[in-house]
Chains A and B, each alone.
Chain A
């Protein structure tokens, strides 16, 4: 995927300001930056939820910057949300069935029943993300970790080529973070390209092949995760000296 001159304006404020970058096939691109840096606005622009004001977004040589979200989804670009979003009155299984049935297939007119293929795939997805024991739980009753899993599972059941995760571990405890980390590694191993937003730097640095740090809608840093901590700008604007030091010692052990 290639973004060129992508800009998203809310009135006079440019949430995303003339941003250029590419995501290479098969890589994991981590996106970081302080609150209000435009990370989620960028995701909204790419996924068509809240289209960009100007610029070109290309995915697999198709221009998608004006595509409605359902179409973006159907060409293989799937995202999760920062908030715990699902279909609250339905069960985990139903959520995944809907995602798989409408997100993964190219059918023009929905049939009368969910087909066996959808059922098989959803069963597989539930086992892949670890939700099999919660299949019949209503989503509104799910604990936060399972809701995160469900969002990733729903996104995966749409069979994406590019998976965009918006704060997949926000609000989780360290052991849960480790489990999601391991899950994203397994997703990446299935040759799905991943783009993820995260504030938990340990998570971001561990997973990413490359890191893009935004500030005020612009690129502050783009490069290898190992270089993030030595970049003066990132430390000053985003991380702060103390947490950068803490991270450095964490990474070296």
Chain B
């Protein structure tokens, strides 16, 4: 009994999250060999990009409790940085993508300093205002930096956006299969972003945010500085979001203010809600489902936003923890039944289904 309940100092070999990640990654790596349509490859790449953005948004909103609507601003900062560097300085797009991530971190720190002293809905309002301001600023950008009149080129390209700034150069390497190259770049970005998510969620920071949610006064008196840790997570997740922006720009070879528009915001929020806010695997599930649904409803584009709205309402009312949450509940029930037969081991399994489940439980089971 006592042996069982005492923690050991053995570090667990691998969390199930890493196993899931490796499995998904394996599927992702072999998938292109079964795809012969360039369109499908392109849509898959887009899925990977959105999944990256939403996974980071989920860390910010679902775990760190920052109700930020400026995630796409960070995405745009990453994308525009890569595009501008490529267009005016001929920077390589790989380097541009990394610098886009760095620029997004800088932007996130600025936004974070301004917003994170606030809480809840005020953070949402202020970040939404920032997103709208960024959208309008780019849309109304008329300062020519090169030429004038017909040949006028503004820094951001204004409402037309930027193009002809290069790509990852897979066309020379892979010929007409160049999209596969972009796909693998996006897959790498997503894998890194999800690894980062797991580290945050399962590590001390994840517990700190959980503690802040359970009892803020006690958490603060335990030495947890909400502002500092929120800013930290906001900045880190901005890096991967900015990277996703760079990949987007390089993949489509164009970036415009539409990435800051309301339709995309609604699309990504739907992914977050459908997948399950605050669930580690929610964003990936949500992004996949929404991309599939979007694909089916292509003919009805005029009803797209309406449909997204209906989906969001449906999930918030009936499945507030999303598809990932539903899967967890069902599997928990299943494991719970097993647990009655298997005693401590089963209870441990049950705990792992929780979004904040952790390795401590696993260790005790290693002893039992």
Binding site for B on A (CB under 8 A): 47, 49, 68-74, 78-79, 81, 85-91, 93-94, 97-99, 101-104, 109-114, 116, 119-120, 122-123, 126, 132-136, 154, 158
Q: Does B134 contact A (CB under 8 A)?
A: no
Which residues of chain A are within 8 angstroms of B211 by Cβ–Cβ distance?
87, 90, 98
Known pairs A85-B217, A132-B2; A102 contacts B204 (CB<8 A):
yes
The answer to whether A74 touches B223, judged by C-beta atoms less than 8 angstroms apart, is: yes
The answer to whether A90 touches B214, judged by C-beta atoms less than 8 angstroms apart, is: yes
Closest to B5 in A: A135
Which residues of chain B are within 8 angstroms of A93 by Cβ–Cβ distance?
7, 360
Complex: A114 Cα to B229 Cα, angstroms: 16
Known pairs A93-B360, A110-B203, A120-B9; A69 contacts B221 (CB<8 A):
yes
Known pairs A102-B224, A132-B6; A87 contacts B210 (CB<8 A):
yes
Q: Please name the 5 residue pairs, one residue from A and one from B, whose CB atoms are nearest each other, closest first.
A: A103-B223, A87-B214, A102-B223, A73-B223, A69-B220
Complex: A87 Cα to B221 Cα, angstroms: 12
Complex: A122 Cα to B203 Cα, angstroms: 16
Which residues of chain A are within 8 angstroms of B221 by Cβ–Cβ distance?
47, 49, 69-70, 72-73, 78-79
The answer to whether B222 touches A98, judged by C-beta atoms less than 8 angstroms apart, is: yes
Complex: A101 Cα to B207 Cα, angstroms: 10
Residue from B2, B9, B232 within 8 A of A119 (CB atoms): B9
The answer to whether A68 touches B220, judged by C-beta atoms less than 8 angstroms apart, is: yes
Q: Does B199 contact A (CB under 8 A)?
A: yes
Complex: A200 Cα to B364 Cα, angstroms: 39
The answer to whether B222 touches A158, judged by C-beta atoms less than 8 angstroms apart, is: yes
The answer to whether B208 touches A102, judged by C-beta atoms less than 8 angstroms apart, is: yes
Binding site for A on B (CB under 8 A): 1-2, 5-7, 9, 11, 199, 203-205, 207-208, 210-211, 214-215, 217-225, 229, 232, 356, 358, 360-361, 364
Q: Give the distance to chain A from B360, nearest Cβ to Cβ, in Å.
A: 6
The answer to whether B218 touches A87, judged by C-beta atoms less than 8 angstroms apart, is: yes
Known pairs A119-B7, A132-B2; A110 contacts B229 (CB<8 A):
yes
The answer to whether B215 touches A85, judged by C-beta atoms less than 8 angstroms apart, is: yes
Which residues of chain B are within 8 angstroms of A85 by Cβ–Cβ distance?
215, 217-218
Closest to B360 in A: A93
Known pairs A88-B215, A109-B232, A133-B2; A68 contacts B7 (CB<8 A):
no
Q: Give the distance to chain A from B231, nearest Cβ to Cβ, in Å.
A: 11
Residue from B199, B203, B356, B361 within 8 A of A136 (CB atoms): B361
Known pairs A78-B221, A87-B219, A88-B215; A97 contacts B207 (CB<8 A):
yes
The answer to whether A70 touches B7, judged by C-beta atoms less than 8 angstroms apart, is: no
Complex: A65 Cα to B214 Cα, angstroms: 26
The answer to whether B218 touches A81, judged by C-beta atoms less than 8 angstroms apart, is: yes
Closest to B224 in A: A102
The answer to whether B205 touches A110, judged by C-beta atoms less than 8 angstroms apart, is: yes
Which residues of chain B are within 8 angstroms of A114 by Cβ–Cβ distance?
203-204
Closest to A122 in B: B7
Complex: A52 Cα to B16 Cα, angstroms: 48
Q: Give the distance to chain B from A180, nearest Cβ to Cβ, in Å.
A: 19
10 contacts between A and B (CB under 8 A): A69-B220, A70-B222, A81-B217, A91-B361, A101-B207, A102-B208, A103-B222, A112-B203, A120-B9, A136-B364
Which residues of chain A are within 8 angstroms of B205 by Cβ–Cβ distance?
110
Which residues of chain B are within 8 angstroms of A49 by Cβ–Cβ distance?
217, 220-221
Known A72-B221, A112-B199; further 5 A-B contacts with Cβ < 8 A: A90-B207, A93-B360, A101-B204, A103-B222, A109-B232
